[in-house]
Chain A
Amino acid sequence: GQNIDQPTEMTATEGAIVQINCTYQTSGFNGLFWYQQHAGEAPTFLSYNVLDGLEEKGRFSSFLSRSKGYSYLLLKELQMKDSASYLCAVRASRGGFKTIFGAGTRLFVKA
């Protein structure tokens, strides 16, 4: 089967660092995406990893280990506006889209 697991909820303090983990089991792997989704809005693209290692983009970094079926999203210098759901998604097939999304991690940033 195909499965993506991520924590349901996390709480962190403004200015802190938070790491959101994602583990996956899919038939074939062709990249992993992280999206941010504010309540009532569409997902917006944050990062893409297809090779092992860390990709850094401003306050956001994403890590991938294909052998472990594991990724994390690291958010630094948290701001109140970072309160949102963070979706881990795996592109499971070659040559097209069969993107499998996790249920999302709701992040609450408190003052």
Chain B
Amino acid sequence: DAGVTQSPTHLIKTRGQQVTLRCSPISGHKSVSWYQQVLGQGPQFIFQYYEKEERGRGNFPDRFSARQFPNYSSELNVNALLLGDSALYLCASSARGGSQETQYFGPGTRLLVL
């Protein structure tokens, strides 16, 4: 079975642009979470979605938004990109979004903002 997949793997944008990152969870998983990982730091929680509804939001500005589709895949959108948005964006899936469930991470999308 395929694990969590993310696209694209790498992306270069300029300040002020908008970006959309995509994630497909493990088959049968209904919950997706998004994280931002800056070099040398641990992942920072952005959003959690379960059954197409937002279940949690981290301390990120409104420029960050996400949605989950009926097939449980998800998109993360970032508007008005800043240099500081350069990071590895990780998607993680779990079966039902339960608090004691293990999350499985995808390979990430590496975003560089120039």
Q: Are A97 and B102 in contact (CB-based, < 8 A)? A: no
Chain A residues with Cβ below 8 Å from B94 are 97
A-B contacts, CB under 8 A, total: 68
Q: Are A102 and B102 in contact (CB-based, < 8 A)? A: no
Chain A residues with Cβ below 8 Å from B107 are 41-42
Complex Cα distance, B99 from A100, in Å, reads: 13
For residue B25, CB closer than 8 A to chain A, the reply is: no
- Across the interface, A30 reaches (CB within 8 A) one of B48, B90, B99, namely B99
Q: From DSSP, what is the main secondary structure of chain A's interface residues?
A: loop
Interface size on B, as a range, is 20 to 34
Q: Are A101 and B44 in contact (CB-based, < 8 A)? A: yes
Chain B's closest residue to A94 (CB) is B99
Choose among A94, A98, A103 the residue with the greatest number of B CB atoms under 10 Å from its CB.
A98
Complex Cα distance, B37 from A103, in Å, reads: 10
Q: Are B106 and A96 in contact (CB-based, < 8 A)? A: no
Q: A residues near B, CB below 8 A?
A: 4, 30-31, 33, 35, 41-45, 48, 50, 87, 89, 91, 93-104
Closest 10 A-B residue pairs measured CB to CB? A101-B42, A42-B105, A97-B48, A30-B99, A96-B55, A101-B43, A103-B42, A96-B56, A43-B105, A45-B102
